[in-house]
Amino acid sequence: MTQMITPVMCSGAGPSHLKETAAAVEKRVEEFEAASNLKLLPGAEEPMELQWSNVRIDSVLGTGSFSVVYKCKVTSLARKQGDPNPKDKLYALKQLSTETICCNESFMTGSIDLALEAKILSKLRHENVIEIYGVKGGGIAESFSNSQAGGGFFLVMDLLEETLDQRLEKWREEESQKNNLLMSIFNRKKQSQKRLQGIVDRLQDTILGVVRGMEYCHSQNIMLRDLKPHNIGFDKAGKVRIFDFGLAREVAYDGKSTTNLPRCNTGVAGTLRYISPENAMGKPCGLSADVYSFAILLFEVITLQVPFSEIKLVSEFKDKVIRGRYRPNLKFVPSVLLHDLLKDSWSPIPENRPSFMEISCIIEELIGSDMLTQEGEWRKFVFRKTKPLSHHHCPDGKDCMKDHSGIAAGSSFHRRMSGSHHKKHDHHKNKDCHHHNHKHSCDLGEIQQLRAELKREEQEASRRHGMCGSFHGSIDDQTRSFNENISFNSSRHSKHSHH
């Protein structure tokens, strides 16, 4: 049963507010396009320009901080794409929510996010990144100024079958059912081997797609800023697709250092459970902010545990995780290489985090060499689950750098990894992987230097306490404090969902 979009009835927000704001949004998009280095790939087409008369809304898929996503039919688009049943082809349509349209500040922020998402996605083409097929035709200012009349800006994308957070719930339920049985030592061994194989399957079927999609985005200097299970989906073929680029921004390389720096301070943006410390504190952040978010996500996929579930208060989360060095316990993470990868990736120092190219070759090596399923690894896994470990979540951070796996960094395990990379990857990945594994064998002096840097970072964080985002609600709420060369700062805190 299809339906049409009806006009939005707002109290106190008249057409003049929409017209002025829409003009400011169009100017912001023009500034982005003038500064952007994004180019359409040769042979690729721009998204099809559509009108609301081309669209038939089917049902609501989900709502976000500023937008609502519908399941829809666009026959003219499906026919252009050569679909055998164009009248039945389903897509996802994203537009501003009623609440956003009726709030002056939210309307500005949400409109810029949606317009820039369309511009960024229109230039990206990768099998692990959602593809945009159509946008509202006409000028941006004209489209957004008609938002109350039911004719606002929209974009049409792939329809995804499932999201990673939904799949995680299924995996957890399956794991819980298995754990309800009392196991003998033999069954424990067999069960541990199955769990390790499950981890390998999740790395291969899910994590690799996320890594490759993010590696591509970073190669285009696109920072997602809100990487989390809710924003990772699976299409009909089961392929991983990263979606929701509403908070994504292009960063610029300054040419003087090895780090990517943003064009401007983009403000606090992301979901607290996954947000990087520098982002949460309102500092300028680069591509490595996504690596931190990925590390938290990777831990969740490996262990099937909700990261930081033991922290209930936002204030406690800010003190321990954002301004401190509290991180998830690695007790149930097999393989010293995964330990080191997680520790490096969620480092409070952005420059110490690996690139997605490095992460890609490490994950590929883990899968290809059967390191997690070979004889002996299950023993470590069982041992970690039965013998208490020293506390990893030390409040003062003094012991947080300790390797709790019982296997020394820089061991023969690392040397095997370093050598085997040269056999399986191209020249650039070889160099990055070797560098990453060499970094793990740091001496005591380097550790002391790192701790000194961490202390300086913490002191700087304390001075910037007043700039820290004013998070409300739970640590799963999306936070958006906007400060991007426009005339006001605003925060909106609402439950973030997905399509």
Domain ranges of the chain: 15-159, 163-482
Known binder of ligand: residue 71?
Answer: no
Q: Is the pLDDT of residue 39 over 80?
A: yes
| pLDDT at position 47 | 96
Of 273, 279, 285, 127, residue with least CA distance to 214? 127
Residue 117 host element (H or E): helix 104-121
Does residue 250 carry a pLDDT above 80? yes
Q: What is the mean pLDDT of residues 70-98?
A: 95
pTM of the predicted model as reported, rounded to 2 decimal places: 0.77
pLDDT band with cut points at 50, 70 and 90 for residue 424: very low
Query: What percent of the chain lies above the pLDDT cut of 90?
Result: 50
Q: Write the DSSP symbol of residue 315.
A: H
With beta carbons less than 8 A apart as the criterion, state whether 467 and 265 touch.
Answer: no
Domain 163-482: give its CATH code: 1.10.510.10
One DSSP character per residue, 60-79 reads EEEE-SSEEEEEEE-HHHHH
Which homologous superfamily does the CATH classification assign to the domain defined by 15-159?
A: Phosphorylase Kinase; domain 1 (3.30.200.20)
Q: Cα separation of 153 and 138, whole Å?
A: 9
pLDDT at position 73: 97
Token couple for 263: 């064009």
Quick check: do 15-159 and 163-482 share a fold? no
Under 8 Å between Cβ of 160 and 233: yes
What pLDDT sits at residue 393?
40
What per-residue confidence (pLDDT) applies to 449? 59
Contact criterion met (CB below 8 Å) for 279 and 255: no
Residue with tokens 């099809």: 48
DSSP 227: -
Confidence of residue 368 (pLDDT cuts 50, 70, 90): confident
Rounded Cα gap, residues 221 and 216, in angstroms = 9
More confident residue, 187 or 317: 317
pLDDT of 4 reads 59
Q: Please report, rounded to a whole number, the percentage of residues in the chain having pLDDT higher than 70.
A: 66
Contact 320, 326 (CB under 8 A): yes
- The yes-or-no verdict on residue 491 having pLDDT over 50 is no
User: Does 93 have pLDDT greater than 90?
Assistant: yes
Residue with tokens 């299924």: 170
Q: What is the mean pLDDT of the chain?
A: 77
